[in-house]
Chains A and B, each alone.
Chain A
Amino acid sequence: MKNAITRDEIIARVNRALIEEFELEPDSMSHEETMQGLGLDSLDYIDMIIVLENEFGFRLEDKSVISDIRSLNDVYDFIENIASRNENTV
C-alpha cells in the first residue's frame, strides 16, 4: 500500500494536470478560484474527469458527482475524498 497522499501533493498534481490540459496560467491557480473564473465550462468538466482519472488512477462510474465542483478547492477536496476511500489507486 502506498503512503497516504498529502493535500499539498494533491494540489500540486491537480494543478499541473489542469494547467497542461487547459493551457492555464500557473498564476491563476489560487485555491479559491472558481472553475468558471478559469474559463472552464461543462464540456471542460468532462475532460477534467479524464485528466484526473489518469493522474490519480481511479475511474469514476458516476460522473454526475463532479457537478458540485465550483472551485479548485472543491477539486482538491474531491480527490482527497477519493484518495481516503481507495489509497491503492492514488
Chain B
Amino acid sequence: MRRRVAITGMGAVSPFGYGLTAMMDGLYSGRCPLSPIPANQKIEHVDCHVAGLVPPFDAKIPREIKRSMSPMSIFSWLAAKEALESASVHERKNVGACVGSTLGSGREIEAIFRELHSSGNLDQSRSMTFFKIMGHTVASNIAISLGLGGRTISPTSACATGLQAIGMAYEMIAFGRSEIMLAGGAEEFSFLASATFDKIGVASRETDPHKASQPFDERRIGVVCGEGAGIMCLEEMESAKSRGARILGEIKGFATLAAGNLAMLEAEPAEECMRMAIADAGMKPEDISYVNAHATGTRMGDIAEGKSIESIFGTKAPVSSLKSGLGHTLAASGSLELAACIEMARRNSLVGQPYGFMPDRECGHIRYAQSGEPLGGKAILKNSFALGGIYSSLVVTGSP
C-alpha cells in the first residue's frame, strides 16, 4: 500500500539570494544572477570565469550552531527553516532529513590539505574541520541545529543529489517508514567542481555572465557551476490534511537508474528513466503538461536529453531548463528547480527559455516553454542527471 505524499513547505537559497520568493522573482524577471569568479577562487589553467554564487547576506546564526557549518550547511539551515516555517511544522521530534551534497565542504578539504602541505602537520586544524568535511555534514547539521529526531540520511549523487534525496524521502513516507521529512540538496562553490567540468571539457569558458549558461541554445558552450540549497518539507497526505497544512503539491512518482557511461549523458537511459517515473506515478506521457529539464548547457548532454524528451512527448509538453537563470547548482539543482516548478504551478505561469533564446535543432523537435505560459493544470516531470551515470526523474503535481 502506497501512501500519498504532500509537499507542505519549501525553502531556497540560490544565486538570487535568500528565500524562495527571491529565486522566483529572479527567474521570472529574467535577470542574470551569475557573476565573475573572484580572483582568490580561481586556479591557474582552469578556464572558468563565471559562477552562480549566493550573494553575501547576514544569516545571524548562533556560533554554537554555525561552528560546524561550511557555507552549504548554512544555506541548508536557512532553506530548511524556511521550509518548516512555510509548512507550519513546530514539533520536530518525528521530522527526518534526507539531504545531501556532492562532497563534504570542498573549501574545508582544500584548506586542510593546504595546511598539511605547507606545514607538514595539522596542528592548526580546528575541531570542527571534520564536521564540515564528512559526507553527511549537511544532513547532520540540519538535524542537530533544528532539533530533528527522525531518520537522517545523506544521499549523494553529484548533480542528481537533490532530486534523488526528494525521491528517497518520498518513498520513505509513501511506504510507511517516515511521516514527515525535510529533503533536498546543497552545494557550495569550490575549485573542485569547476575544475572537474573544465578538465573533462564541458565547462563554459564564457567571460560574460549573460552568455555563459545557455541550455538548449545553439550558442551554448558548457556548464556554469553554482551554489545554494533547496529543501522541501514532505509529509504523508492524510496527516498533513488532518493538521490543516497547506498542500503545495504532491509527489506522484519517482525513478532513478544507472547507465554505463561515466561522463556522457545518453538519450536511451534518460528516456527510460522518465518513462519509469511516469509509470510509477500511474500516468501516461499525455498527463505531463511541463518538463523541467536537467539541461546544463553542454553540447552533447542537451542533445541527448532533448532527443529523449522528443521520443516521449514530441512537441506536446513544453520544456525549459532553469539553468540559464540559476547556473548549475549541482547537488542543489534538483531540489531548487523542483521547488521552482511547484511555485510555477501555484502561479500557473511557467518560466520559459530566456529572451533571445536560439533553439538548437540538434536537441530534437521539442516545444520550448514560453515565459508566462500557463501550466495546463496537469503534472510536471523533473529530470536530474549526474556524472557517474546517474539518472533520476520525478513527477509532481502542484496546487494552484
Q: Which of A4-12, A39-47, A72-80 contacts B (4 or more CB under 8 A)?
A: A39-47
Q: Which residues of B contact A43 (CB under 8 A)?
A: 127-128
B126 interface residue per 8 A CB criterion: yes
Contact of A23 among B63, B124, B127 (CB under 8 A): B63
Please name the residue on chain A nearest to B126 by beta carbon.
A47
Q: Give the CA-CA distance A8 to B64 in the complex, in Å.
A: 29
Beta-carbon contact of B63 and A46 below 8 Å: no
Beta-carbon contact of A46 and B127 below 8 Å: yes
Beta-carbon contact of B123 and A22 below 8 Å: no
Q: Mark A51-64, 1 if CB is under 8 A from B, else 0.
A: 00110000100000
**16 extra A-B contacts, CB within 8 A, seeds A46-B126, A47-B126, A47-B128:** A22-B63, A23-B63, A39-B63, A39-B64, A43-B127, A43-B128, A44-B67, A44-B127, A46-B127, A47-B127, A50-B123, A50-B124, A50-B126, A53-B123, A54-B124, A59-B123
How near does chain A come to B175, taking the closest CB pair, in angstroms? 37
Q: Which residues of A contact B64 (CB under 8 A)?
A: 39
Q: Could you list some 19 contacts between A and B, CB below 8 A? A: A22-B63, A23-B63, A39-B63, A39-B64, A43-B127, A43-B128, A44-B67, A44-B127, A46-B126, A46-B127, A47-B126, A47-B127, A47-B128, A50-B123, A50-B124, A50-B126, A53-B123, A54-B124, A59-B123
Please name the residue on chain A nearest to B131 by beta carbon.
A43
Q: Give the CA-CA distance A59 to B121 in the complex, in Å.
A: 13
- The prevalent SS among residues of B at the interface is loop
Please name the residue on chain B nearest to A43 by beta carbon.
B127
Which residues of chain A (15-48) have a CB below 8 Å from chain B? 22-23, 39, 43-44, 46-47
Q: Mark B109-130, 1 if CB is under 8 A from A, else 0.
A: 0000000000000011011100
Q: Give the CA-CA distance A66 to B128 in the complex, in Å.
A: 19
Q: Which residues of B contact A22 (CB under 8 A)?
A: 63
How near does chain B come to A8, taking the closest CB pair, in angstroms? 27
How near does chain B come to A82, taking the closest CB pair, in angstroms? 17
Q: Which residues of A contact B67 (CB under 8 A)?
A: 44
How near does chain B come to A84, taking the closest CB pair, in angstroms? 24
Counting chain A CB atoms within 10 Å of each CB, the highest count among B63, B124, B126, B127 belongs to B127
Q: Give the CA-CA distance A47 to B125 in the complex, in Å.
A: 8
Please name the residue on chain B nearest to A46 by beta carbon.
B127
How near does chain B come to A29, taking the closest CB pair, in angstroms? 15
Q: Which residues of A contact B123 (CB under 8 A)?
A: 50, 53, 59
How near does chain A come to B144, taking the closest CB pair, in angstroms? 13
Q: Give the CA-CA distance A22 to B67 in the complex, in Å.
A: 9
Q: Give the CA-CA distance A67 to B128 in the complex, in Å.
A: 19
Q: Which residues of A contact B128 (CB under 8 A)?
A: 43, 47
Q: Give the CA-CA distance A5 to B374 in the complex, in Å.
A: 74
Q: Give the CA-CA distance A22 to B66 in the complex, in Å.
A: 11
Which residues of chain B (66-80) have a CB below 8 Å from chain A? 67
Which residues of chain B (95-149) have a CB below 8 Å from chain A? 123-124, 126-128
Q: Which residues of A contact B124 (CB under 8 A)?
A: 50, 54
Q: Give the CA-CA distance A23 to B126 in the complex, in Å.
A: 15
How near does chain B come to A70, taking the closest CB pair, in angstroms? 19
Q: Which residues of B contact A50 (CB under 8 A)?
A: 123-124, 126
Q: Mark B48-71, 1 if CB is under 8 A from A, else 0.
A: 000000000000000110010000
Q: Give the CA-CA distance A44 to B128 in the complex, in Å.
A: 9
How near does chain A come to B158, taking the closest CB pair, in angstroms? 30
Q: Give the CA-CA distance A50 to B125 in the complex, in Å.
A: 8
Please name the residue on chain A nearest to B124 by beta carbon.
A50
How near does chain A come to B226, taking the closest CB pair, in angstroms? 29
Q: Give the CA-CA distance A44 to B127 in the complex, in Å.
A: 7
Q: Which residues of B contact A44 (CB under 8 A)?
A: 67, 127
Q: Give the CA-CA distance A54 to B123 in the complex, in Å.
A: 10
Q: Give the CA-CA distance A64 to B67 in the complex, in Å.
A: 23
Please name the residue on chain A nearest to B63 by beta carbon.
A23
Q: Which residues of B contact A54 (CB under 8 A)?
A: 124
How near does chain B come to A59, taking the closest CB pair, in angstroms? 8
Q: Give the CA-CA distance A22 to B64 in the complex, in Å.
A: 9
Q: Give the CA-CA distance A48 to B67 in the complex, in Å.
A: 13
Q: Which residues of A contact B126 (CB under 8 A)?
A: 46-47, 50
Q: Which residues of B contact A23 (CB under 8 A)?
A: 63
